[in-house]
Amino acid sequence: MAERKEKFYITTPIYYTNGLPHIGHTYTTIVADILRRYKKMRGYDVVMTTGTDEHGVNVERAAKKAGIPESEFVARMADVWRALWDDLGLTADEFVRTTDLQHVRTVQWLFRLFKENGYVYKGHYTGQYCIYDNAYVNDAKPGDPCPDCGRPTETVTEENYFFRLSAFQKPLLDFYKKFPQFIQPETRRNEIISFVEGGLKDLSITRTSLRWGIPVPGEEPHVFYVWFDALTAYLTAVGGPEFEKRGMWPADVHLIGKDIIRFHTVYWPAFLMAAMLPLPKQVWAHGWFLMDAAKMSKSKGNVVLPRPIVNMLGMDALRYFLLREVVFGQDGNFSYDALVTRYNSDLANGLGNLASRTAALLEKNFAGTVPKPGTHLPQDDALAKEAQNAIGEVLERYDKFEFARALETIWSVIASADKYLTTEQPWALGNSPDEESRKATILWTTAELLRIVTALAHPVLPESTAKVWLMLGQTTPVGTTELDGLRWGQLAPGVTLGKFQALFPRVEKNEAIERIEAMANEELNPTPAAPAPSATAHTAAGTAPTTAGPQEKIGIEDFSKVEMRVGQVKTAERIVGADKLLKLTVDIGSEVRQICAGIAQYYQPESLIGQKVVVVVNLAPRKLRGVESNGMIVAASVGPEGRPVLAGFHEDVEVGARLK
C-alpha cells in the first residue's frame, strides 16, 4: 500500500459577511494560498480552507437595511467572497459558510461535549458589548468605547450559558510553555501569556438578545455566541464530528491577523481542551496593512481593493508586493506608489527581463533548444553554486514564514544572472567552435538558473512562473515540481523550448496609479449612466448587495438641497482608457464646468455639442479615471442594461435656469 503523505491543514479566518473584501483579507488568503502551493511542492497532502462568518447582530442589521431576509443576504455575500477568491485564483479546498447544516451540527456537537464534560453552566450577564467586534468589553462602563475599534459599546443584560474559561488558565499556560511555537510571531506570544496570567473570566457562549444565530438545542431562544460559532468552522471544514475520518485535524496553522489573536490562542484552545479534542499546532498572527497610517477597514472607508490592482498589473504583482514589501508578522503601509515601483523594478526589470533575455538568446543562437554546455569556467561554477545554495536557503525561509527574505534571496540570484550575462556577453561571441561552446555554456547556465528560481518563486508567483516553465520546455506543471529534489544541473540539453510570453510589461507609474484608482472608484461607486453623486462616493465599501428595499419619502427641504440648472454642452471628448466616460465642458450660466458623464457607449461626442442638458451643480467635485468631474448630467436609465437617455426640454430654455 502506498504510504500516506504527511498532511498539512491551513486555515484563513472565515470573513464577516456584513462587508466587502479588501486587500487586508486578500493578504491573509494569499498567504494561505502560497503555503498551500509550497507545502504541495514539499510533498504534503494539503487542505486549505476559508469561508464566511454569517451570524450575529451586524448581519441582522445589514440585512434589515438591505430589506431582505438574513438568509438571502448572507447567501449573496458568500457568493461575493467566493467569487473574489475564484477570480484571484485563490481557490480553497473547502469553503465553510456558518449557515451550512454541517456547521450547525458541529457547533451543537461541540457544545454537547462541553456539557458532558462539565464546562458550561447557566447564568446572567450584564456588560458592555461591542457589536462590531462581537465581544463583551471587560471592565467597561456604560458609554465607554470599545478599546479595539473605538466605537461606542452597548449595555447588554441577558441569561446565557457560561463556558468555564477560568478553569483553563493553568492548562493554557502549560500548553504555551510546552509548545512555544504555538503562537507566532514570538512578540505576540508574550502578550498572550501576560493576558492569561492576568486571570481568565468565564465566557458567555450563548445569547438570548440575538435572533440570527445557531440555536442551542432545546434551549430556545438561546443562540450561540458568534465567536464560538465561528471558531468551530475550522473543525467543520475537515469533517466536523466525524473529523477523524478525514485525518486532517488538528490544523497545522491558523493564519490570522493580529486583531483576532486572543480568540484563537485563548478561547479556541480552551474550547478544544474542554471537548478533549486535539489542539491546533500553530496560530500565526500577521500584522495589518495600513492606509494613511490607519487600519484599513470597511467602516472607515479607507479600503484598497484587490481587483483593480490585479486588472492593471496582474495577480502575481499583487502577491509579490504584499509578501515582499512587509516582513510577515509586522504592520505595513500600503501605497500604490510603492506597488508600482516594485512592479517595475523587481518584476518587469528583474524576473521579466531575465526571462525575456534568456528566451531571445536561446531562440536566436540555438533555434529554441536547450544547448549542451561545454567546459565550465570559474564564473559559471560560482553562479551554479549561488543558485544551488539558494535552494536550501529559500526553503528554510519559506518554512519559517519569512516570505520577504525568501524573495530577497531569489531576487539576488536573478540579479547575479543579469550581471553574469552582461559580463559574459554571449551576443558578442562569434561562430568558431570554441565560441559556440562558450555561448552554449553561458546560455545553458542562465537557463538552468532561471529554471531553479522559477520553481522556487512558484508559490508566490504562480502565473508568471508557469509561463517561464513552458518557455524552458518543461512538460510537467511547475506546481508539481518536488522542491526536495530540485538540484543544479537537471536541465537536459536538447529539450525543445516553448514559446515565450511576456511576463510583466513596464508601466508608467502615474498613469498606472490613476487607472487603478479609477477602477477602484468605479467598483466602490458603480456608475450605470451618469456618475453617482459624490455624497455616496466613499460610503459604498461597507454596503452589501443593494436591493430596492422600501422607498423612504423625503421632505421638500431634502429635495431643495439639490441644485439643478440648465446647461449647454460646449465640448465633448472621449477619455483614453475609459470606454464608458465622456469628458464634457458645460456652460451653466454662471460658469463653464468640466463634467464626466457615463454615456460614451450611447452618445457620439460631436452629437452633444450645443445640446441643452440638466446639470446637478452642487455636487462636490470628484475624479473619475483620474479626470475631475464637477457636477452631474441627469439621464434616465432605460432597460435592463441601464441605457442612459439625457434629460432635456421641449422648448428653448435659457442656460443657467434653475429646475424646481
Give residues in contact with ligand ME8 (CB under 6 A): 13-16, 24-25, 27-28, 53, 230-231, 233, 256-257, 259-260, 288-289, 295-296
Cα–Cα distances (Å) from 549 to 65, 77, 528, 537, in that order, read 8, 17, 19, 20
Query: Does residue 498 contact residue 472 with C-beta atoms inside 8 Å?
Result: yes
**Least separation, in Å, of the C-beta of 640 and ligand ME8?**
33
Nearer to ligand ME8, 10 or 256 (CB): 256
Nearer to ligand ME8, 23 or 614 (CB): 23
Query: Does residue 524 contact residue 541 with C-beta atoms inside 8 Å?
Result: yes
Nearer to ligand ME8, 19 or 531 (CB): 19
Residue 658: helix, strand or coil by DSSP? strand
**Least separation, in Å, of the C-beta of 230 and ligand ME8?**
4
**Least separation, in Å, of the C-beta of 192 and ligand ME8?**
15
For residue 29, give every residue at least 6 positions away whose Cβ sits within 8 Å of its Cβ, in sequence order, or none. 12, 50, 85, 88, 90, 92
Positive/negative CA dihedral, 259, 261, 264, 270: negative
- Candidates 522, 519, 530, 526; CA nearest to 638 is 530
**Least separation, in Å, of the C-beta of 101 and ligand ME8?**
19
**Least separation, in Å, of the C-beta of 258 and ligand ME8?**
7
Residues in the chain: 660
Cα–Cα distances (Å) from 76 to 81, 520, 546, 614, in that order, read 9, 21, 10, 36
**Least separation, in Å, of the C-beta of 277 and ligand ME8?**
16
**Least separation, in Å, of the C-beta of 135 and ligand ME8?**
10
**Least separation, in Å, of the C-beta of 179 and ligand ME8?**
20
Query: How far is it, in rounded angstroms, from Cα 624 to Cα 638?
Result: 23
Nearer to ligand ME8, 232 or 568 (CB): 232
Nearer to ligand ME8, 259 or 325 (CB): 259
Amino acid symbol at 245: K
Q: Which residue has the cell 436591493?
A: 547
Nearer to ligand ME8, 14 or 410 (CB): 14
**Least separation, in Å, of the C-beta of 590 and ligand ME8?**
44
Provide the total of helices (H) and of strands (E) in the chain, helices listed first: 22, 25
Peptide bond into 180 cis (omega under 30): no
Residue 127, H or E segment:
strand 120-130
Nearer to ligand ME8, 284 or 343 (CB): 284
Nearer to ligand ME8, 103 or 625 (CB): 103
**Least separation, in Å, of the C-beta of 380 and ligand ME8?**
44
**Least separation, in Å, of the C-beta of 584 and ligand ME8?**
38
| 378 class by beta-carbon count within 10 Å (0-12 exposed, 13-18 middle, 19+ buried) | exposed
For residue 123, give every residue at least 6 positions away whose Cβ sits within 8 Å of its Cβ, in sequence order, or none. 159, 160, 161, 162, 202, 204
Nearer to ligand ME8, 13 or 373 (CB): 13
Nearer to ligand ME8, 86 or 482 (CB): 86
Per-position b or e across 456-492, b if 16+ CB within 10 A of its CB: bbbbbbbebbbbbbbbbbbeeebbebebeebebeebe
Nearer to ligand ME8, 161 or 288 (CB): 288
Peptide bond into 185 cis (omega under 30): yes
For residue 256, give every residue at least 6 positions away whose Cβ sits within 8 Å of its Cβ, in sequence order, or none. 12, 13, 28, 264, 283, 284, 285, 286
Nearest residue to ligand ME8, scored by beta-carbon proximity: 24
**Least separation, in Å, of the C-beta of 313 and ligand ME8?**
20
Residue 152 DSSP label: B
- The backbone torsions φ and ψ at residue 221, rounded to the nearest 5 degrees and listed phi first, read -90, 20
Nearer to ligand ME8, 51 or 598 (CB): 51
